[in-house]
Amino acid sequence: MDIIVNEELKAYIDPLTPEEHAALERSILNEGCRDALVLWGDVLVDGHNRYGICRKHGLPFNTVQSALFKSMDDVHLWMIDQHLGRRSVSDFQRGVLALRKREILAARQQLALVDALSAEPAPQATSESTVTSTPITDAPVAPAFKSREDLAKAARLSSSQVVMIEKIQKQAAPELVAAVKSGVISINAAAAVATLPAEEQVAAASAGKEELKLAAKRVRDAKRAAREAMAEHSVPAFAPDDAATEGIDPLATVAALQQRVAALEAENAELRQQLQALRNP
């Protein structure tokens, strides 16, 4: 049979690194293709790397048809679950896959709700005859994640890691995403750098690992300074007596915070100029 390689499916999961692909190729050359390729009709669902290696070297392989798939969403969910269980998948990749699963399940749940609300009532029986029928229903819809904690558990991550991965997906430039995927920068550091303007993210990623670390440190230092300024000038929410708030001028407090913010912005601008000067001596 002719096997169809769907490029969208092939790219749905991050590809192997060159080192991982080379190791797989050596294994197949030495031991053969032990695991069957999974097909949906003629479409290859799982085993793209094995299929490519076997075709390259003219090696035999087995295939198996899956009866689980009724739609492309079924295929995506199966692929996600397969890779979430693999130890070789990085924390960032597992987080991205779990977020994709959340989107698919949430969309399915919404569609099921719409279908249920729009369903027509069953026809009323007449005095002359009674008509009965058995409705045809699809398989039960898998429940969506109820909370971020559920999603984190599925991905074997902490809730804070999930939040950071969401931030990276929404705010990070492609160059920064590539850096965290390759392990050049940690999830924590990438989430910090992702708060910078896109051009600064690209510049830091292009400069390499050390510059990414420095950029993350600058972001954290600025946030820490802002928190300290807020704590220094904050008014207690509950004072035991009037003496606790004596001498505190709310307007002066706001003015002091504004001055501190302006000073931090000026300091940040100066650091950017220094960084630019270092890049372009």
pLDDT of residue 226: 85
The radius of gyration of the chain's CA atoms, rounded to the nearest angstrom, is 28
**Is-contact 166 99, C-beta < 8 A?**
yes
DSSP 64: E
pLDDT of residue 242: 44
- pTM here is 0.69
Give the residue ranges of DSSP H helices in the chain.
7-10, 18-31, 48-57, 72-84, 91-118, 148-155, 159-171, 174-181, 187-193, 198-207, 209-233, 250-279
pLDDT of residue 117: 80
d(C-alpha 119, C-alpha 124), whole Å: 15
CA max distance for the chain: 95
Query: How many degrees, rounded to 5, is the angle at CA 100 between CA 65 and CA 87?
Result: 70
| Per-residue pLDDT tens digits for 210-254 | 999 999 999 999 888 888 887 776 645 444 444 444 444 444 555
Q: How far is CA 66 from CA 32, 40, 62, 69, 101, in A?
A: 22, 6, 13, 7, 20
Low-confidence ranges of the chain (pLDDT < 50): 125-140, 235, 237-251
Cα-flanking dihedrals φ and ψ of residue 13, to 5°?
A: -105, 140
DSSP 210: H
| Per-residue pLDDT tens digits for 103-121 | 999 998 888 888 778 765 6
**Is-contact 34 6, C-beta < 8 A?**
no
Closest CA to 170 of 256, 95, 107, 65: 95
Q: Quick one: 171 exposed, middle or buried, by C-beta within 10 A (0-12, 13-18, 19+)?
A: middle
| Sign, CA torsion 189/193/195/198 | negative
Q: Which residue has the tokens 């290859």?
A: 44
pLDDT of residue 133: 32
Helix (H) or strand (E) holding 46: strand 43-46
pLDDT of residue 267: 73
Please give the CATH architecture assigned to the domain spanning 1-67: Alpha-Beta Complex (3.90)
Q: How far is CA 77 from CA 15, 197, 227, in A?
A: 18, 34, 42
d(C-alpha 201, C-alpha 190), whole Å: 9
Report the DSSP beta bridge partners of residue 33. Answer: none
| Sign, CA torsion 80/82/87/88 | negative
Residues in the chain, how many?
281
pLDDT of residue 120: 57
Cα-flanking dihedrals φ and ψ of residue 153, to 5°?
A: -65, -40
